[in-house]
Amino acid sequence: MQVYLLCTDVSLDLVTIGRYYQVRWNIETGYRYFKELLGFGHYQLLSTTGIQRFWVIQLLTQNFLESQWQEWLGQDPI
């Protein structure tokens, strides 16, 4: 399997670029879980209050899931 990574910052070395993409991959898969598994992809926002509530729910859910993940790995939550 071949993987190609593109980076516009030519001052970065290959290891740093790989680390950045690793972090980015975790962020993208987190968004996918929110949309598919938690149903956030079907959430409709019609007001400013609804948008604010959506982001609060999303932040709280992400923090809860991350703390559970860290606990499951046997690490201290960040």
pLDDT of residue 61: 86
Per-residue pLDDT tens for 42-77? 666 678 887 888 888 888 988 888 888 888 888 655
Report if pTM > 0.75. Answer: no
Per-residue pLDDT tens for 7-45? 888 899 989 988 888 888 888 887 787 777 766 666 666
Contacts with 50 (C-beta within 8 Å, 6 or more apart), sequence order: none
pLDDT of residue 42: 67
